[in-house]
Amino acid sequence: MERLMPCRFCSTELRHIFIDLGLSPLSNSYIKPENLSQGEMFYPLRAWVCHHCFLVQAEEFSSPSNIFSDYAYFSSFSESWLTHARNYAKMISDKCALNEKSLVVEIASNDGYLLQYFVELGIPVLGLEPAANVAEVATKKGVRTEVAFFGEAMAHQLREKYGYADLMVGNNVLGHVPDINNFIKGFKTLLHPDGLLTMEFPSLHNLLRFNQFDTIYHEHFSYLSLSTVHRIFRQHGLAVYDVQKLPTHGGSLRIYVRHQEKNTPETQALRDVLREEEEDGLCRLDTYSSFAQRVLRVKADLLEFLLQAQRAGKQVVAYGAAAKGNTLLNYAGVKSDLISYVVDLNPYKQGRYLPGSRIPIRDPKYIFETKPDYVLILPWNLQDEISRQVASIRKWSGQFVVPIPQLTILP
């Protein structure tokens, strides 16, 4: 009999599978050419929903140190994400009246994509990034960066070394930590008594509404609703008092957090999103039960399209060697016989192969040499940006295809 896993927030035994995507390798474990003759580790890719706190979560098969020690994701390769970061830095600096005496700390600061804009404004920064290869890029940009994982003990060390943080930021990191309680205790420790914390994370509400199952992979330990996040922070003495809906990553939430002792009033925007989640059943088990059938439909439609294209002698390639694309391709069992290659702007990925599917990764220029009939956009959240970058495929009647929320051939 399978031993039940405890919820990583409330420790309730998990009894309800949200989605089972079969076996999959780590989604960012890109394969070097010299390792193609070696095997890969495949792990069950399942997400569970806790019937007590409704945290949706995946099992932990590989340690964060193994996943993030040599990471292939660099935030600065997305123009739209850089614009998002620049706009945030200006907005929040004005809102908090940050100056040369302030300290901005970002957790999982990646390649300095965000903190570089605070540096430009003359505001002292500190990035905490566990992947040394990514942190090195940030340091070269002039972004002071420490290579470490964040938690309560690390927060004490940072506070002793640098003092309290006036602003703390955590973008797309809350779902990546297996010990979510220890992680949030770190913010309670390092944040100045009058400080502000903002965090962004993909919305579980949108994942359910728009079939975004491909955002489930082993590096993502948790999938978050505002209702559950509100509860988790409150448990650790932090109050989520405001929220913004963002278009990033297929629909994200940005939360604003202060110490509970500040007694900051909750905004109407926060109450509205909490009400929407309640009305749409995010705190009811039956809401999660129909998701698997909708996911199966996406898989079937993708395979049907790829097989029809092959029979018609059409070439299909993909754009974006993204983690979400690896989830989709491995779940659907797609290999290089159906998708010839995938292109990506990140030179760190070029020349390697996708995990599991073993599809080769090329420079985007390769599209214009081979002139494929279809370009499947795997990071569907960037479809506008990508379709602009390679819009000239239409010169040879090439077409873009988006697989999520349902397969669509763009006009």
What is the maximum span of the chain, computed from C-alpha positions, in angstroms?
66
Sign of dihedral through CA atoms 119, 124, 126, 132?
Answer: positive
Task: Encode pLDDT of 82-108 as tens digits.
Answer: 999 999 999 999 999 999 999 999 999
Residue ranges, the chain, pLDDT below 50:
none
pLDDT in tens, 110-145: 999 999 999 999 999 999 999 999 999 999 999 999
Side-chain-side CA neighbours of residue 261 (13 Å): 6
Instruction: Using DSSP, state whether 281 is helix, strand or coil.
Output: coil
In the numeric block, the tokens 């599809």 are attached to: 359
| C-alpha 222: how far from chain center | 10
Integer-rounded Cα radius of gyration of the chain: 21
Question: What pLDDT, on the 0 to 100 scale, is given for residue 28?
Answer: 87
pLDDT in tens, 165-196: 999 999 999 999 999 999 999 999 999 999 99
* pLDDT value of residue 86: 97
Q: Are 202 and 251 in contact (CB under 8 A)?
A: yes
* Dihedral sign from CA coordinates of 132, 136, 137, 138: positive
CB proximity list for 176: less than 8 A, separation 6 or greater? 64, 68, 108, 219, 220, 221
**Which of these, 30, 176, 167, lies nearest to 108 by C-alpha position?**
176
Domains of the chain and CATH, by start: 75-288 (3.40.50.150), 303-409 (3.40.50.720)
Cβ proximity of 364 and 319 under 8 Å: yes
Distance (Å, rounded) from C-alpha 398 to C-alpha 104?
46
- In sequence order, the β-bridge partners of residue 401 are 376, 409
